Structures are given as structure tokens and as C-alpha cells.
Amino acid sequence: MSATRTSSAPSVAVRPPWWPDLSRRGVGLVELMDDPGCDLGLLNATYRAFPVVNGLVAGWRRAYLRRLRPLLSADVTTRLLDLGSGGGDLARALAGWARRDGLALEVVAVDPDERAHAFAVSRPVPPGVEFRRASSADLVAAGETFDVVVSNHVLHHLDDEARAAVLDDSARLASRLVLHADIERARGAYLAYRAATWPWRTRSFVHVDGLLSIRRSFTADELVDVAPPGWRVVRQWPFRLLLVREIGVDAPGGAGRADA
């Protein structure tokens, strides 16, 4: 893969529209960081910004307290898989919270993108975290299993076939819980994110790609419609969706929806 942005790649300085059509998913939109020839310096700046941006908007502290921490123990190690881990900010955050709570958590963070993996391992790797360049299919083929599988902002990147495969892989890999977190597409989310990330508009892909992500993301009802049986869609404030599968818990025949 080239480490230099090609002349045909769009510029990070592109000004996103104020009032895009959010009535349907922008599935044809391509995020700048998904271009294999994008500027590597801007890509790495984006990964460096993710701990701040995700810390403010992704809601993982609440998900950890409500859904993950009750499964953890100080005596028995829980194995957690972070799919599509990018620069590794979620894996580091989850491991750090568990460590501070005195709980035994081992996090395996995987991403098939060599650029993401290179960035993740270029920074100090905390205790209890392992980074691998791999996909969910690779782990299924290797016969790996985990107690919990999570992802952050992965679902909206995937087409229908890839999303179905990742959800199937997740259910195979997890023995207790799967938690895929993503953005809920909404006008308020778009306008708030545009204003909040304006300072990053020329220094990384955070501003432009985040707005493209919102346009590519699901509403709660759309995610219910495409989720397989046994999964639940949970809405979280602000503008967050969790696609949840609890293994061993009776679930409705079709995907359900709840607010939290």
C-alpha cells in the first residue's frame, strides 16, 4: 500500500455540506481514511485524535460500567476481542478501566488494515492488551474463542454481505456477550459533530470522515431491520446505537429495540 495520498484522492480540506440528505444512508460515500492511498501523516493524526473524540462521543465508559464490568472478575480472567480496533484507543481504555477496578481483563485487538496495526503497535502497549493484524474470519478459522466481542464504529463501514459475515463471526467467537457500537444517523448528530470538530478540519480526517460516518450510519429502525434474529438494538444518548447479542439469554425471534 502506498503511504502517500494519490492525486485523485479527495482533500481533507473539502467542506462538507451543512444540510445533506439524511433521509437514507449514504452507502456510496467513501471516507478519506478508507482510501489505501490517503496521506499517512493525516491518517496517523486521525488515530492520535481518536482517544479524545471517542472519549467525548462514543459512550464506551457507560457501556463498560453497565454492560462489561458486571461480567468481569478479580479472580478469573475475561478475554475480550475488539474487532476493527483502528489505532487501539478502545482496547487501551477498556484495559485501563478494568485494571483500575482491580478486574482481570485480557484484550485482543484486531484490525486487518496494516496501517492501523502499525500505528497501534508503534505506541506503548499496556498490560493486558495484544494487537494483531487479523480479521474476524481469521479468528474463526483459527478456532479462537472469547468471552466478549466488541467493536466501535465498524458496522457503518460494511456492505450488507460483510456486515452479515462479521455478525455471524462475532456470534461464533463470543461465549457471553457481543456489543457493536455505532453512530445513530440524525440531523442533531451531524450539526453537533460538525461544530465540535471544526478545529480538526485541516489537521486530520476527524472532521470530514466523522461527518461521512454519520451519513453512512443507521437509524435505530434501520439497524433493527438488518439485524439477524437474536440481536437487540439499544439506543444511547447522545445519538448512539448498540447492537447487542447476549449468548445464553433467551432472545426474540427477530431483532428487537430498546432505549437505555
Tell me if residue 87 falls in helix, strand or coil.
Answer: coil
In angstroms, the CA 23 to CA 213 distance is 14
Domains belonging to the chain, first-starting first, are 32-259 (3.40.50.150)
So what's the pLDDT on residue 59? 86
Q: Is the peptide bond before 16 cis (omega within 30 degrees of 0)?
A: no
Residue 257 — very low, low, confident or very high, per pLDDT cuts 50/70/90? low
Question: DSSP label at 59?
Answer: -
- pLDDT tens-place string over residues 36-52: 999 999 999 999 999 98
Question: How far is the C-alpha of 84 from the C-alpha of 185, rounded, in Å?
Answer: 20
Q: pLDDT value at position 171?
A: 96
DSSP letter at 65? Answer: I
Task: Label residue 148 left, alpha or beta by phi (over 0 means left) and psi (-120 to 50 means alpha).
Answer: beta
Q: How far is C-alpha 204 from the chain's CA centre?
A: 18
244 beta partners: 179, 232
How confident is the model over 170-179, as pLDDT tens digits? 999 999 999 9
Residue 7 has pLDDT above 50, yes or no: no
Contact 217, 143 (CB under 8 A): no
**Distance of CA 76 to CAs 98, 106, 203, 249, Å?**
13, 10, 43, 21
CA dist 141 and 165 (Å) reads: 13
Contact 147, 182 (CB under 8 A): no
pLDDT of 122 above 90: yes
241: β partners: 182, 235
Which is more confident, 35 or 15? 35
